[in-house]
Amino acid sequence: MDASRLFAKNFLDTSYDKLPDEVVKETKNQILDFIGVAIGGSAKEGGNEVRELYTEWGGAEQATVWGYRGKLPAPHAAQINATFGHSLDYDDVHEAATMHPGVVTIPTSLAMAEYLGGLSGKDLIQAVAVGGDMISRLGLATRPGQNIHQFGWHFTTMNGFMVSAAVAAKLLGLSEDEIVYSIGIGYHQVSGNGQPVRDGVLTKRLGPGFAIRGGMTAAFLAQKGVTGAVNSLTEGECSYYKVYHGGSYSEEKLIGGLGTEFENTNISIKPYPACRGTHTFIDAALKLKKDNAVDAEDIEEITLWTGKGTRDLLCEPFEFKRAPRNPVDAQFSVPWGAAVALTKGAVGLGDYTDDAIKDEATLRTAAKIKLDHDPRCDGVGLEPARVGVKLKDGTVYEIFVELATGSPGNMLTYEQVEEKFRDLIKVPPRTVSAENADNIVSFIRDLENQPDVTKLIDYLVWE
């Protein structure tokens, strides 16, 4: 049986009441976090242009663009909200799966909630949780034991087409066959590559939104009677894992424990606004600086020992990672994150702007960085970090960090997520009122008891 049917069955069989308490708790954290990240990114380049374009095009008023009055067709509104949420590279991530689950499941679910009306908090939690489990499994199963960055795909975008389709189909109340068709129609649109990261361009921010637009459209087409491939993931001659991954996947990771074991509790919420692969290095640099009272101006040389995957994705081209051409370069740079940490002793949103990448003190620190390889840092997900500094007086400090802040086993609490949320809503020139912010936090804290989540959307619109 194709895995797409097993996932369709799981969407129908896994009711809210079957979700473990820990899954419910982490899903609520992820929803609050993503809304904050999307508000923070709502005026950034990339998403703003998508919003302007779709506003010009207009269409049926079905769902809200967060932070702006007026509605658009549900797939367009969800696409814009997802692009907002991916613009800061501050959205949640499943480290082992190399996947951003929330940027796909949450905008899809909330746009569908508004389109349908009457969706409860439990319905929202179920959709986000089961969808998050699906997209994480799709990533975990891919090319087991290999670092997937070398193959050039952007997996959140690719898998997002199929997962958004399944989430939207479930919320539309479609049958098992129709959910399978939706996944198949989503698969027919699959795309997404890593070149925007290499070139430091804005399309990196747009990928998940493209996937959501395609996925939701797939579900609406299935509702109207369009059929899609029924062997789209594993069994067909031209199925996803055969066409895109040479048949290399783990059946156990894909469907083992489906419906009883959930990957949502392994989804990390980011403490720093940059690619998750930089976070072990930022943690290491911050701790090294704090524990040894290191002044960046006293440093003669910095060595970053990386794994092969991290070096390829986040350290090359080296000249652009030490001196970013633009904020995208900085967001995907281990050297930049480490340099900021060693220079300032803190890393935040203000360190990834057009002005910040020109900061002379940070650039002086970054210029002292050299790279080396440590086999202990090689891995298939979030790789460990080893950071060393040599001071001008000859003193040497070194640190090895394996588990980044926010990772499973070191997760953020709801209160910590709330703190991040309140920082994020101060970012755009148009910010949420204090009253709305309080309402969002309290609404999501009690989400499982909310009868209609469209009330949450009301708090996400302001003048």
What would the two tokens of residue 102 be?
Answer: 């929330």
Q: What is the pLDDT of residue 463?
A: 60
Residues 290, 264: one domain? no
Same domain, yes or no: 371 and 315:
yes
CA–CA dist 342, 340 (Å, integer): 6
Give which of 30, 103, 87 is closest to 417, Cα–Cα. Answer: 30
Query: What's the confidence (pLDDT) of residue 462?
Result: 74
- Asked if the structure places residue 137 within a domain, the reply is yes
Binned average pLDDT, 10 residues per bin, the chain of 463 residues: 98 98 97 96 93 97 92 98 94 91 98 96 98 97 84 94 98 98 98 90 95 98 98 98 96 97 94 91 97 97 94 93 94 96 94 94 98 90 92 97 86 92 85 92 98 95 74
Q: pTM for this one?
A: 0.87
For residue 253, is it within any domain?
Answer: yes
β-strand partners of 72: 63
Q: Which residues pair with 63 in a beta bridge?
A: 72
Domains of the chain: total: 2
d(CA 431, CA 104): 24
Residue 55, in any domain of the structure:
yes
Residues 397 and 334 in one domain: yes
Residue 397, domain CATH:
3.30.1330.120
Whether 444 is covered by a domain: the verdict is yes
Is residue 215 within 8 A of residue 164, CB to CB? The reply is yes
Please tell me whether residues 135 and 11 are part of one structural domain: yes
C-alpha pair distances (Å), 103 with each of 2, 68, 204, 328, 445: 26, 19, 13, 18, 20
Task: Report the phi/psi class of residue 117: left, alpha or beta, with left for phi > 0 and alpha for psi in -120 to 50.
Answer: left
If we measure between CA atoms, which residue out of 333, 348, 354 comes closest to residue 424?
348
Query: Domain check: are 381 and 242 in the same one?
Result: no
Please check whether residue 156 is in contact with residue 211, taking contact to mean a CB–CB distance below 8 angstroms: yes
Q: What pLDDT was estimated at residue 193?
A: 94
**What is the CATH classification number for the domain harbouring 101?**
1.10.4100.10
Under 8 Å CB-to-CB from 350, ≥6 apart: which residues? 356
* Domain interval for residue 383: 276-401
Rounded Cα distance, 340 and 359, in Å: 10
Pair type for strands 267-268 and 71-72:
unpaired
Q: Is the same domain home to 110 and 203?
A: yes
Residue 463 lies in a domain: no
Structure token digits, residue 388: 């060393």
Whether 266 and 280 map to the same domain: the answer is no
Tell the burial category of 249 from Cβ atoms under 10 Å away from its Cβ (0-12, 13-18, 19+): buried
Phi, psi of 399 (to 5 degrees): -150, 145
Residues 370 and 225 placed together within one structural domain of the fold: no
Looking at the fold, whether 11 and 62 belong to one and the same domain comes out as: yes
How high is the pLDDT of residue 148?
Answer: 77
Specify the pLDDT at position 264.
93
Cis peptide before 73 (omega within 30 of 0): no
* Same domain membership, residue 428 and residue 396: no
Say yes or no: 29 and 162 in one domain: yes
3-state secondary structure of 374: coil
Q: Are residues 318 and 340 in the same domain?
A: yes
Listed residues 401, 424, 448: the one ending a domain: 401
For residue 152, the model assigns a pLDDT of 87
